[in-house]
Structure 1
Amino acid sequence: PHGLFVDDDQTMIIADCRNHRIVQWKMGDTNGQVVVGEKGQGNRLDQLNYPTDVLIDKETDSLIICDWGNSRVVRWSRRSGTTQGEILIDNIVCSGLFMDDQRYLYVSDWKKDEVRRYQIGDKNGIIVAGGNGKGADLNQLNVPTYMYVDQQQTVYVSDNNNHRVMKWNKGAKEGIVVAGGQGEGNALTHLWHPNELFIDTLGTHYVADSRNDRVIRWPKGTKQGTVIAGGNVEGAGANQFISPISLSFDRQGNLYVVDKDNNRVQFFSIQ
């Protein structure tokens, strides 16, 4: 599994990447339900190819999916009887998706090392982070994966191969390092291939620090984070991960973590 979206009723929508499908899993269920991708791997409109992220667009009651292996973003209606999706954006090696309060869609392109913002129906979008080639300068990214966008349309990006989280204010030509940026490492001042992130109303960052097998909380303006889940060497124990890649919070503040190489989603009650 890769990307994860938790709905208001704690229903989990999971991008089950290597099974080329999207699975819906209600809290307490022992089996999930395949909602997209029953036709197996492929590039037809009724197929997916290594999907990496998914979200629910409440306005249209549809799923928007990062169909990574097909270099496209697709939309599937959640209404019963839907047999295929439609292409929203193509020719994009997308890794992560985010929709802001105004229904702008943000998509990271890890091949072009940029994040673009789209209005639904617009296939071109505008660059809101990166777009200046691969690199470690403040106006560059190196494999952007997941992102979070606040109400001011500030874009926070997990800059995976630069081992940092970057903040790009709306209209900015370069970003600001807000977590990591010290190179790879396992100290609390470091990140190592960070992936999905969440920013709360206080500006605290929560980051799936994948190669360190931990979720780290990084208060705004501080130089280091604290481990809130994992960090106990990789493994399959209750508070261990092997490559945590995605995270999400529900309305009650509970944390859900996609524990990628343990093929599971873990649930934590965070104090």
Structure 2
Amino acid sequence: MCLFSGGAGNGLNQLDHPIGIVRDADTGAFYVSDSNNHRVMKHFPGPADGVVVAGGNGNGTATNQLNFPAGIYFDSKSNSLVIANRGGNNIVRWVIGTTTWTLLAGDRNGMSGSSSILLNSPSTVTFDSMKN
């Protein structure tokens, strides 16, 4: 199965340092965190171009940007992605079809630290069977 074609880059048929991948069992789509392009792409099996579904507006801390996204989780109930926004030092939820994220954990402005409310480069997200 081919999820994308082309070498590393920022085209819709390219990825640059993909880290996380998750599948939507209902549609067969794959979501890939394209870390160095600061975006999450949606691909269907085959060599077709992908679609940017989160980020893609450069790296930063604005709610329409991601900063080196890593691990991702697809929540079928809310049709959203939960993203370990590694460079942003936070975990965010991005509803598919919207243009911004909401903060779930960490600092909205990307501050890292050792206090109980700050994160340091989170790399993955996971949920139990109850979606907690």
TM > 0.5: yes
Which of 13, 19, 31 is equivalent to 1:139?
13
CA distance in 1: counterparts of 2:85 and 2:34, whole angstroms: 11
Which of 95, 103, 109 is equivalent to 1:219?
95
1:157 aligns with 2:19: no
3-state SS in 1 of match to 2:83? strand
Contact 2:79 2:96 in 1 (8 A): yes
State the one-letter code of the partner of 2:40.
V
Correspondence 1:35-74 to 2 at 5 A: none
CA distance in 1: counterparts of 2:125 and 2:6, whole angstroms: 28
1:199 aligns with 2:74: yes
3-state SS in 2 of match to 1:244? coil
Contact 2:2 2:45 in 1 (8 A): no
CA-CA distance at 1:131 after TM superposition:
3.3
* Counterpart in the other structure of 1:189: 64
CA distance in 2: counterparts of 1:247 and 1:199, whole angstroms: 10
Q: Deviations over 1:222-271 (max 9, x none)?
A: 000011100161011112111000110101221xxxxxxxxxxxxxxxxx
More strand by percentage:
1
State the one-letter code of the partner of 2:106.
G
3-state SS in 2 of match to 1:249? coil
TM-score, structure 2 as length reference = 0.91
* Counterpart in the other structure of 1:244: 122
State the one-letter code of the partner of 1:230.
G
3-state SS in 1 of match to 2:36? helix
TM-score, structure 1 as length reference = 0.46
Bigger-Rg structure (1/2): 1
Bigger relative contact order, structure 1 or 2, given CA contacts below 8 A and separation 6+?
Answer: 2
Q: Deviations over 1:155-202 (max 9, x none)?
A: 100000000000002335110000000011110100000000011113
Contact 2:5 2:47 in 1 (8 A): no
State the one-letter code of the partner of 2:85.
D
Q: Which runs of 5+ in 2 are unaligned?
A: none
Q: Which runs of 5+ in 1 are unaligned?
A: 1-125, 255-271
